Chain A
Amino acid sequence: MIDRGRLDALLKEVLASSPADETELVAHCGTNRLTRFAGSLIHQNVSEENCSVTVRVAVGKRTGVAVTNRLEGAALAESVKQATEVAQASPEDPDFPGFRKSERAPEADTYSEATALMSPSARAESVNRAVAIAAEKGTTLSGAYRVSDFRFAVMNSSGTDQEYYGTDAFLSIYATDDDGVAGAAVAYAKGIEGIDVETTARRAVDKCVAGADPVAIDYGPLDVIIAPKAVAEVMSWLSFTAFGAKQVQEGFSFMAGRFGEKVMGDNITIRDDGFDPAGLPVPFDYEGVPKKPVTIIEHGVAVSPVYDTLTAVKDGIESTGHAGTAAFRGGPGPRNLFIEPGDKTEDELISMVDRGLLVTSFHYVNGLLDTRKALFTGMTRAGTFLIEGGKIVRPVKNLRWTDSMMRAFSNVDAMTREREVVGASWGAVGSVTSPTMLIRGFKFTGATEF
């Protein structure tokens, strides 16, 4: 792959020779390696090395974007020319604020060399260790072990010049028995040092074994304890539908018109902090703006969405450093989300439930039913258990739920003090750090056959 010195020289040369009034270059170069397994065998095992540059230019208040991974010869300069032609043919965007100079982002702990160097045989060896644990209990495994390393750089004609090196590692393990009953567990970290293969495998296998012979139960409103993986799936959707300023400005978000109002319970505080090492730090955004901490919900009150430059200018404030790629303007979004924890253990939460469910994860969550009410639906998956009299009494078949997340997060009775970092569903890098939650009266609306 193109080395750092050559790429930097190329970017600077292209920036200097751009025919546009303003130019921004965003380079993402790196490798992704992923080992997938099913039936306790590796069935897919892949590696990718790529380097792409997103060129955004402005001609007056007209903008154009071109993305390319062809970096040889004059290919990148050709992309700048192409973006300029797009800009020249486009109508003016009266709100376009120009590309601004950002101060150098502070250093963040984002890189693990061992992760960048992890070999396919090391990943296979990890899978072998997990498979052996599963075999002891008569279960088989599927899942994935992914490692990535990358360099992310942003330069613009106003003088912004940012770069960082990052890695991440993700392990998902899904244990199944002969009847297809499943248990799931995931681990996500900056690097492989933070991935405990054996513990993750045991958690999945234990859930699977405990889930044998599930029974159907009648559905309706039930108290539910949801694990961090399930919370993260909801938060990923809220990041897409609600927490960004574009969604607020367009009236799509449940928070639009409700800032300063109570939208969730007193015990719910949600914030994004690109530099908090408890999650996965991301020092700056696709415009090169350093991340600022943003409190989105504080003690149940809607406080602020996250901003990029365009949405910030519309609201008369500064960007919080949450811009997404210019290739598709979906608006800003959080990348390192935190839910403030409670003071209980998971066992204490279980003891607080007279009749309800313990849910390991959700499947196919959809947050588009009514975004103004944050009305979501989804299924339970891979470990759903009935609680009666403060104790787990039996596994149950999976259920559909349909509920407003404003309502659900207003009915959180207690949370664990311990939190987990879960990889967010949206984007290559992004995490949600969440406790386990006890929600009263969660609306279950349907059932399936397993």
Chain B
Amino acid sequence: MKDFLKQAINDLRQKGVDYADARKVRGLSETLVMKNGTLETASMTESDGFGIRVLKGGAWGFASSSELTEEKVSEIAQQALAIAEASGTVGKPGITLDKRPPAVDTYISGYSEDPFEVPLAEKIEILSGACEGMSRTEGVKLATASIMNFRTEKLFVDTDGSSIDQTIIEAGGGISATAIDGAGERQTRSYPASFRGDYATRGFEFTRSLGLVENSERIGAEALELLNADECPAGKTTLIIGGTQLALQVHESCGHPIELDRVFGTEASYAGTSFLTTDKLGSFKYGSKVVNLVADATCEGGLGSFAYDDEGVAAQRTEIVREGIFVGYLTSRETAPRIGLSSNGTMRASGWNRIPLVRMTNINLMPGDGTLEDLIADTEDGIFVDSNKSWSIDQRRINFQFGCEIAWEIKHGKRVRMLKNPVYTGITPEFWGGCDAVTGPEEWHIWGIPSCGKGEPGQAAHVGHGVSPARFRNVQVGGKR
């Protein structure tokens, strides 16, 4: 297949295209979801195919097919060229790409235990054990445990001479317990994170390390405790945000607005644009002095880690916010030159049938000092929230609202009671401007989110967020009126 793709790229070069690349991607995923001891979903999904992207006359075309034959490769290359030519009939596109050296490489992500080699019975035993543990608490009506594994094999060639083979293995899982009372009120507790857990670019050793069974009884008990907890009071307060929720806060209020394609309006009609316009680069006060953010595709095990992006650009680490000042974007070969830079390697496609877009890698809030318990002890009056329940943010990523699974009231440096249904809201730069403490490396963890949505047709990217719990002053919790 590689030879067919190389031939197609050569043919396109002969036809005078500005640039062309071809990717063959085989994706394999395993999804196991057990609910109350019944295996609701046990599926293996394989998707194999190729896509060819052509830049001609400054305009893009892309075509793809699941049929892996020489004839089809040739036909799809012609289709991609015809589509690029059609694109060029609207206005004067004038797209150019930055220069970068071609890469010839082979990469396999690190893992100890291939998740696809672990017997299904062993995975089911983990899920069963976790469901049993959660169900030990009377009042837990739904005990759900899930495991997902991914294997992605990518081949990339382009007219610049790149030829890259990558194999990426990812794994993870999670559990959740839902307690329901006689009146139908329900509360859910999840571990290690909500919406099916935590994921990493590692093997099944990562899933084992999560301790899904070991934590299941505690999670079941917390679900019931939450059902009987007091409602989270409304008002302006000091907020401490735990790792799993802070990961999503970074995702929505930092990760998306720094996508440079989005800044230039390519998602305007769908996902939206960004308040971090290019005039703000290097001077805008995004947050307080303790806020330092990086985009790092080189973090070992991060779900947004890889060797090369889907334009053949090597993975990189880029500063995004330095001591509160906005200093960097996620970029591509097309967008970076428009602000005088070179791509920092963030273009990724969710499969053979999608074009690469600027996507988050691992967007990390760098750690400060101390432990979570130190931070709580240092807080006179506030609320500690964790585990995401709902999320919403405007199309420029300014006004956000998050609901969380659980909260604890803090008084005089101690957690005094559990609270349910916490919701907080804010304006992104004001919120990060109120961040006065980030806990230290001992609390820092890269949370993996395998479902970041963007683009039309839709694409779900695997991204990571390294965070440690942090404190924010003067945050609106609950409704204002």
Contact = CB atoms under 8 A, between A and B. Distances in A.
Interface of A: 1-2, 32, 34-52, 63-70, 72, 79, 82-83, 85-87, 89-91, 93-95, 119-121, 123-125, 127-128, 131, 142-144, 146, 172-174, 176, 180, 182, 184, 220, 250-252, 256-257, 326-329, 363-372, 377-379, 381, 398, 400, 402, 445-450
B48 A70 contact: yes
A448 B399 contact: yes
Nearest to A330: B41
A79 B354 CA distance: 24
Nearest to A32: B457
B103 to A, nearest CB: 24
Given A123-B86, A184-B269, A220-B481, A93 B39 contact: yes
A50 B354 CA distance: 12
A74 B60 CA distance: 37
A43 B44 CA distance: 34
Contact of A34 (B93, B394, B456): B456
A184 to B, nearest CB: 7
Contacts of A445: 401, 425, 479-481
A120 B82 contact: yes
A368 B390 contact: yes
B86 A66 contact: no
A143 B401 CA distance: 26
B355 A326 contact: no
B67 A66 contact: no
Given A146-B457, A251-B186, A379 B395 contact: yes
Contacts of A131: 90-91
B314 interface: no
B124 interface: yes
Given A34-B456, A50-B65, A364 B46 contact: no
B66 A50 contact: yes
Given A44-B266, A143-B269, A379 B392 contact: yes
Please give me the 4 A-B residue pairs with the lowest Cβ-Cβ distance, nearest first.
A174-B269, A65-B43, A120-B86, A448-B399
25 contacts: A37-B90, A44-B266, A44-B456, A46-B63, A63-B42, A67-B47, A68-B45, A89-B119, A93-B38, A120-B82, A124-B87, A125-B89, A142-B265, A142-B269, A326-B43, A329-B41, A363-B395, A368-B389, A377-B390, A379-B399, A400-B392, A445-B425, A445-B481, A446-B401, A448-B399
Contacts of B266: 36, 38, 43-44, 142
Nearest to A94: B38
Contacts of A144: 269-270, 456
Nearest to A253: B184
A365 B391 CA distance: 9
Contact of A446 (B184, B275, B354, B425): B425
A70 B403 contact: no
A448 B398 contact: yes
B344 interface: no
Given A400-B399, A448-B399, A47 B93 contact: no
Given A41-B90, A67-B44, A1 B65 contact: yes
Contacts of B33: 328-329
A329 B40 contact: yes
B236 interface: no
Interface string B246-277: 00000000000000000011111110110100
A66 B185 contact: no
B42 A65 contact: yes
Nearest to A66: B44
Contact of A82 (B44, B51, B86, B91): B44
Contacts of A174: 268-269
Interface of B: 31, 33, 37-49, 51, 59-68, 79-80, 82-84, 86-87, 89-93, 95, 119-121, 124, 128, 141-142, 178, 180, 184-186, 264-270, 272-273, 275, 353-355, 389-396, 398-399, 401, 403, 421, 423, 425, 427, 456-457, 479-481
Contact of A91 (B37, B65, B95, B268): B37
A60 B391 CA distance: 42
Given A38-B266, A39-B265, A327 B457 contact: no
B181 to A, nearest CB: 10
Most A-side CB within 10 Å, residue of B92, B266, B275: B266
B480 A52 contact: no
Contacts of B128: 91
A152 to B, nearest CB: 16
A379 B392 CA distance: 8
B394 A448 contact: yes
A205 to B, nearest CB: 13
Given A368-B403, A445-B480, A328 B31 contact: yes
A166 B89 CA distance: 29
A402 B83 CA distance: 43
A250 B142 contact: yes
Contacts of A41: 90-93
Given A91-B37, A251-B180, A252-B186, A378 B392 contact: yes
B394 A364 contact: yes
Contact of A251 (B141, B273, B391): B141
A447 B390 contact: no
B351 to A, nearest CB: 10
A198 B425 CA distance: 40
A184 B398 CA distance: 20
Contacts of B31: 327-328
A47 B62 contact: yes
Contacts of B60: 42-45
